[in-house]
Structure 1
Amino acid sequence: MTELAHIYLGNILSNEKLGKRIISEPYLEVSLSPTDKGKGRIHTQTHCGLEIGIIKSRDWSLQEGDVLKTIQGQLILIHLQPQKVMVLSFTQLMCDSPLSLIHLGHTLGNHHWPIIVQDNKIYVQLSLDESVIEHTISHFKIPGLIIDYEWRLSDQILNFTEVNHHDQDG
């Protein structure tokens, strides 16, 4: 039977009293993927195999150290799994290939692959098998383009937003 957790108590990293409560009371732990943390309904398992359903508003995301309480009164401690992202960087200035970059941006957007541009790098969320994304990007043969990967810990997770132009009024 799935236990439902819908009462948010706070975060042990910012609430000392809650941190002490976690130490003194029994609790269960779950590890969520970075893509799950913003969902309103999350079905997961604790580290010991108990099924948990988390219900929350979509207007905020779970963070490392968040604590929820189940209907039965059980405390649930949230952990975030590391996030693997594709990193596109360049060994040279891209003054000679602006059209290729525009086509690349169009293709990434057309496939609805969320990106973040930061510090002269393009971070691509791996929402699909990485080999498919890599093959699509390699097809452009952009000179100086390097495709690499990074693992980002919970305090470094990139918050990719999914903008869907089909949902906008206009």
Structure 2
Amino acid sequence: MLVAETYLGHREDADLSARLADADPVRVVLSDTERRRSRVRTESTEGEDVGIVVARDLADGDVLETDDGTLLVVELATIEALVLDFSDANVSPTAALELGHALGNRHWDLAMWDGEALFPVPDTRERMLDAVEDDLPPGVTTRFEDVPPTTFDDGAEHSHGGEGHSHGDHGHDDGHTHSHGHDHSHGVRTIDGDDR
């Protein structure tokens, strides 16, 4: 089994990029839960047994070194998100507060980007839609989309465009009431246009 214990940096770092170009790195795909653990036993994309022992959350593109000098590149599995699109809706402050209160009481993680609110799907699509539909303001549409798990990290730098980003099912434009999800225990992650 390969054991990776040394964090080297990100694959886009100039020195690492050059090393990776000359190497045959091992690649692993980690879930959102695995990327946060200090010890993970997994398999490479080629089926090789790999252990990862690092005291930090891992991001897509992080590079580690194994005990025998092999480079290991971390990739993150995308997660599904419910997207509430407010771009074509004229939402009143009252409706926004009502939706924020209703969704905030659920303590869902939240990311905001250019007129959209994104929530990770912890359960089923149907339950997520059931939870929001009675409070959606008129004109707000919903869809599901695969996003990097770092989308919901407070203050994290990440890329949310091109890689790991695919539009899912579009759906549901009903006319109900409300807008921004206030979250009591988790921060609201605002995604800049360059991050997405």
- Answering whether residue 53 of structure 2 is matched by residue 55 of structure 1, we say yes
Give me the CA root mean square deviation.
3.0
- Residue 153 of structure 2 is matched in structure 1 by 160
Q: 1:121 to 1:35 in 2, by over 3 A?
A: farther
Matched-pair contact (CA < 8 Å) for 1:88–1:123: yes
Which of 23, 44, 47 is the aligned partner of 1:46? 44
- Residue 13 of structure 1 is matched in structure 2 by 12
Distance of 2:70 and 2:132 partners within structure 1: 46
- Residue 75 of structure 1 is matched in structure 2 by 71
Q: 1:76 to 1:36 in 2, by over 3 A?
A: same
- Answering whether residue 141 of structure 2 is matched by residue 146 of structure 1, we say yes
- Residue 24 of structure 1 is matched in structure 2 by 22
CA deviation digits over 1:72-128, x for unaligned, max 9? Answer: 433211223344322102332111x62x43343233333331012232221112233
Q: Between the two proteins, what is the percent identity of the paired residues?
A: 24
> Any unmatched runs of 5+ in structure 2?
155-182, 186-196
Q: 1:45 to 1:103 in 2, by over 3 A?
A: farther
> Any unmatched runs of 5+ in structure 1?
166-170
Give the number of aligned pairs. Answer: 156
- Residue 81 of structure 2 is matched in structure 1 by 85
CA deviation digits over 1:25-61, x for unaligned, max 9? Answer: 3421112345644443444321012232323334x54
Distance of 1:30 and 1:56 partners within structure 2: 14
Matched-pair contact (CA < 8 Å) for 2:10–2:63: yes
Deviation at 1:7, TM superposition (A): 0.4
Which of 117, 124, 131 is the aligned partner of 1:129? 124
Matched-pair contact (CA < 8 Å) for 2:59–2:75: no
Query: TM-score, with normalisation over the residues of structure 1?
Result: 0.71
**Alignment partner of 2:151: what SS?**
coil
**Alignment partner of 2:103: what SS?**
helix
**Alignment partner of 1:143: what SS?**
coil
Q: 1:122 to 1:8 in 2, by over 3 A?
A: same
Matched-pair contact (CA < 8 Å) for 1:6–1:56: yes
Matched-pair contact (CA < 8 Å) for 2:84–2:116: yes
Matched-pair contact (CA < 8 Å) for 1:125–1:160: no
Distance of 1:36 and 1:19 partners within structure 2: 24
Q: 1:141 to 1:88 in 2, by over 3 A?
A: closer
Q: 1:126 to 1:53 in 2, by over 3 A?
A: farther
Matched-pair contact (CA < 8 Å) for 2:80–2:146: yes
Query: TM-score, with normalisation over the residues of structure 2?
Result: 0.63
